[in-house]
Structure 1
């Protein structure tokens, strides 16, 4: 399944200043601490199948087959992570009465499969972060390339190097520089290993919980991850590397385009002069040559 990425800052940074759009405003409510509440209840309709073993109690079958596997996974229709469900209602078209006028659930079964299908509506409690939300996360990992966070002690978030303030400095761990003994390494193998820590502009170690802004949301399959930022979009633009194009003068352009080798010595060319004699060379047969040579020997 292809990855889904929702982001807004890239388009704003590439656009001219006069044409930049107003940042997307989140629809999540704000609590008393100034943080956004990302928990929502979404009512949705699903077309589900029921196995023959659950035909006597289709609600339990729907829970086991379809709703329970959704817990703690990304649900694309609700654009969030499902935390729980409630109020399962089967569509009215599947309601009927038996011979004793008792309500029952009916459904159609085709010739090609023993499974029956029906429409249901259900309320889903989801965690639905939006771009621009202000969230709080607990730092569980710090490296020179990013900061790892846990939101609500459950959801993963990360802040990349380019989204960290420029006056912050990463202080590497001394153990990484000088190494550790094998016994100490084995003792810490089951624990989190510290790669160092970030210090803010005043030199204070950054740890515990920090507040960040949601910059992008990545969803791959049933997993969801949040990318955050500690700087404004304008500061992020200033942190990007600047590339200057090298210009070449017109006088130097022919020399610059010419391929030159300095390691190889210039090769010497020896010219052979053409013969001045206009007489063309002739060839004699081997027999005549042999007779002439024998006659010359006998005369001697």
Structure 2
């Protein structure tokens, strides 16, 4: 019997049609294998190839968050039909079948400790990639700022922008622009970058974000990540009543108010300029110290290499 060559039609089953069978859970892990069943409507093009059609529809769920499974489907296997025949209702040519399968699911939970690679650093947050696939955001209030501080990278018009010290190897797993060029979080005492030279960082999962069938995580580096102290508080608005005097003699002269306001603005501007100058000086001093340390390390390495070469020539 000739087969139809009509274009294949893909369909994604709505999550409420997926039924997860109960299974005894083992130790807590981010990867789970669950047995599930789903109701599929197979198009007529798969009338003689039900298994192929079911496989194609299950493929459409891969790398998507499925609420019924509580995670992102990474793979499926052991496809089996739970009924011996499909059902066709009224004038609808689609065959309705019940299908069972085993799914491998990425299902992180609140409180888990995971590890990711630093992909972006900014004063407000740090972005990570877990398994080079899933996004993690660590907001500023979940970074211990008493130990870590953000170091701004050189501006684009800075002669040092985009340059890299001679002999310095690129960070593993990162391509293109170096994180230090955009700025990075460093230890306030040792100046060691957050995540070390390899950019590997362990964090605690404190939140899950689901959007467009994609799952991303919110992480924390705090030793007590669930403490109320690490919840951002909205700015408080002053509700104190303003006292108004009816005595015109007590009101300050308009010219005096302008003079005082101008003086305050000048003081604030001077303080801001001084603070910016101090921050720039501290940044340059930290950069100078790191360059000196790297130069010293290179000199020691060259001296060690020269000594080894001289010893070999002597023998």
Asked if TM exceeds 0.5, the reply is yes
Note the residue ranges of structure 2 that are not aligned, 5 or more in a row.
1-24, 163-174, 247-251, 256-315
Deviation at 1:133, TM superposition (A): 1.0
Root mean square deviation, CA, Å: 3.3
Is 1:29 the equivalent of 2:21? no
The 3 A distance-change label for structure 1 pair 171 and 63 is: same
Aligned counterpart, 1:155:
134
Aligned counterpart, 1:22:
none
The 3 A distance-change label for structure 1 pair 109 and 246 is: closer
Equivalent pair of 1:88/1:123 in contact (CA under 8 Å): yes
2:37 to 45, 51, 74: 45
Is 1:198 the equivalent of 2:185? yes
Aligned counterpart, 1:247:
240
Once the two structures are superposed, the pairs formed by residues 78-227 of structure 1 within 5 Å of their partners are: 78-91=69-82, 94-95=83-84, 106-167=85-146, 168-176=148-156, 178=158, 191-192=176-177, 194=179, 195-202=182-189, 203-207=191-195, 208-227=199-218
Mapped to 1, the partners of 2:61 and 2:231 lie a distance apart of: 42
More helix per residue: 2
Mapped to 2, the partners of 1:122 and 1:238 lie a distance apart of: 41
Equivalent pair of 1:159/1:228 in contact (CA under 8 Å): yes
TM-score (norm 1): 0.61
Per-residue Cα deviation, 1:237-266 (whole angstroms, up to 9, x for no partner) = 3875774746348xx3566xxxx9959xxx
Larger Rg: 1
More strand per residue: 1
Equivalent pair of 1:166/1:239 in contact (CA under 8 Å): no
Aligned counterpart, 1:296:
none
Equivalent pair of 1:138/1:210 in contact (CA under 8 Å): yes
Equivalent pair of 1:44/1:124 in contact (CA under 8 Å): yes
Note the residue ranges of structure 1 that are not aligned, 5 or more in a row.
1-26, 31-36, 96-105, 183-189, 264-300
